[in-house]
Amino acid sequence: MSDKKEKQEPRQVIFNINKEKEFSDWFGEIVKVAELADIRYGVKGFTPFLPWSYMTMDIMFGLLEDALKRKKHLPMLFPTVIPEKNLTKEADHVEGFTPQVFWIKDIGSSEELEEKLALRPTSETAIYPMYSLWIRSWRDLPLKRYQRCSVFRSEIKSTRPFLRGREFLWIESHNVFATHEEALAQVMEDLETTKEVVSDEYELPVMIFRRTQWDKFPGGLNTYAADTLMPDGKVIQLPSTHDLGDNFAKAFDITFLDENNEYVHAWQTCYGPAVSRIFGAVISIHGDNKGLRLPFKLAPYQVVVIPIVRGKNAEEVVSYCKKVESKLAKAGIRVFLDDSDNTPGWKYNYWEMKGVPIRIEAGPCDIKEEKIVLFRRDTMKREPCELKNLKKRVYALGKEIDKTLRTFAESKFEGLVVDCVSLGEMEDALNKGKIARIPFCTTEMDGLECAEEIKERTGGEMRGTRMDVKESPEGVCPVCGRAAQEVAYVARSY
């Protein structure tokens, strides 16, 4: 009996789940087989992010940071812990976040900290005490800073990798101005940044809302947020921006000497794109029944090269493919040559499941003709290409692929919003995965009772009023019968 072991090819990854009908199963399986996260860590809501997802998120972070730097934000990094006395300074803020805070109380096994430390749920109460020291005069303003970090919240709902966890990755910008008008202009700039990056780079269509007064950022004046639609008919919040007014400035004594030589309180905003959550939306919205479909701009490998080897031609084909790889790499394209021993068919399925936008195939016949074959993951179609035109064609295909993914995602918004004037119509619309547009009494605190009844009766949550379209209310609130002051939107959400 021979001691030699036969070489075994890795188990074939065949991903084929109906995303539209079985989205929860689809999501859980793609996170596993595409090696995006590993839920076996053993702590609820805390998940290791694996290379394929983290490389994608790193690119996403880069695009956001480029936009912020272009708009005169500077990077910084604050400690992960916040002293309890800081967290409790702004009453509304602490009341809103305390139920979600993780506390550090002990050192080692026996020594107790003099003061509890919070793992940051968000960083206003960490950063603003320092802003009160840094800002002295109107000449120090505007001050626009951001940091890239993790935040921690004791999520009480069921957790799911990327979409809802107890630790998530984000960018948070914290800005200080001399006037409220400048702060409001920053809010509008943040909404523009969301459109520029989330919609134009990540290819995700969004609807922009001003949140209700009971759903705003704790301690702020108003919250504005971008929602997108997930395959199961629920909406998910992506970036949000907050007009903090001068509330935090008063709590943390952020004052400056103005041009009249008087000390006044500053005005502030903060902006929080949760990149790990947005990544969850990217894979959910762009993926299909075969797995991931990553936008060309975001893919860790924009191109994968597959040698089609047959016996004695193997060395020549691999050498030709290395030439292709080098040509693309020099052109600034993220490319990977899969010269493993796995069969071409195995590689096709694997990289399609991973969502690589473009595959290049090359065999002995292609070498003779100085050609390759290009495969598009979005349309699953092949086309021949001469090697001399490769760089130009790959860039052109990348643009086409991103446009196709964006168009497909936007098509899901067609007919999405349904006008409703009763609770029954709302429930029917939400059951069909739609968003209900309703005449509503008010999104000020007086409307909370009506919103709670809507949620109890329909399962839908009030998303707020649209910022990206102008609408005039007509009719009466479907709950209380008062004359509508606003046009509001209701949807089931994450």
- Sheet of 102-107, strands arranged across: 81-83, 111-119, 102-107
Residues 62 and 112 in one domain: yes
Residues 277 and 313 in one domain: no
Q: What CATH number is associated with residue 87?
A: 3.30.930.10
The pLDDT score that the predictor gives to residue 3 is 46
Residues 61 and 149 in one domain: yes
Q: CA-CA distance, 31 to 287, in Å (whole number)?
A: 11
Write the burial class of residue 458 (CB in 10 Å: 0-12 exposed, 13-18 middle, 19+ buried): buried
The pLDDT score that the predictor gives to residue 1 is 41
The pLDDT score that the predictor gives to residue 143 is 98
Q: Is residue 7 part of a domain?
A: no
Q: What CATH number is associated with residue 449?
A: 3.30.110.30
The pLDDT score that the predictor gives to residue 311 is 74
Task: Record the tokens describing residue 393, joined without a space.
Answer: 């064609």
The pLDDT score that the predictor gives to residue 50 is 97
Residues 382 and 261 in one domain: no
Q: Is residue 11 part of a domain?
A: no
Residues 333 and 470 in one domain: no
- The residue range of the domain holding 368 is 303-400
CA-closest candidate to residue 180, choices 117, 76, 269: 269
The pLDDT score that the predictor gives to residue 5 is 46
pTM for the full predicted model: 0.93
Residues 355 and 421 in one domain: no
Q: CA-CA distance, 91 to 108, in Å (whole number)?
A: 31
- What is the three-class DSSP state of 13? coil
In sequence order, which ranges of 331-363 are alpha helices (DSSP H)?
344-354
Residues 257 and 168 in one domain: yes
Q: How far is CA 185 from CA 147, 188, 189, 223, in A?
A: 21, 5, 6, 14
pLDDT tens-place string over residues 414-454: 999 999 999 999 999 999 999 999 999 999 999 999 999 99
- Which residues in the chain land under pLDDT 70? 1-14, 90-91, 94, 96, 156-158
The pLDDT score that the predictor gives to residue 111 is 86
How many folded domains does the chain comprise?
3
Residues 116 and 233 in one domain: yes
Q: Is residue 42 part of a domain?
A: yes
Residues 114 and 170 in one domain: yes
Q: What CATH number is associated with residue 319?
A: 3.40.50.800
Residues 132 and 177 in one domain: yes
φ/ψ of residue 84, rounded to 5: -55, -40
Residues 361 and 482 in one domain: no
φ/ψ of residue 156, rounded to 5: -90, -20
Q: Where are the beta strands (DSSP E) in 255-406?
A: 255-257, 263-265, 267-272, 303-307, 335-337, 358-362, 371-376, 381-386
Q: Is residue 13 part of a domain?
A: no
Task: Record the tokens describing residue 52, joined without a space.
Answer: 């394929």
Residues 33 and 158 in one domain: yes
The pLDDT score that the predictor gives to residue 10 is 60
Of 400, 431, 449, the one marking the end of a domain is 400
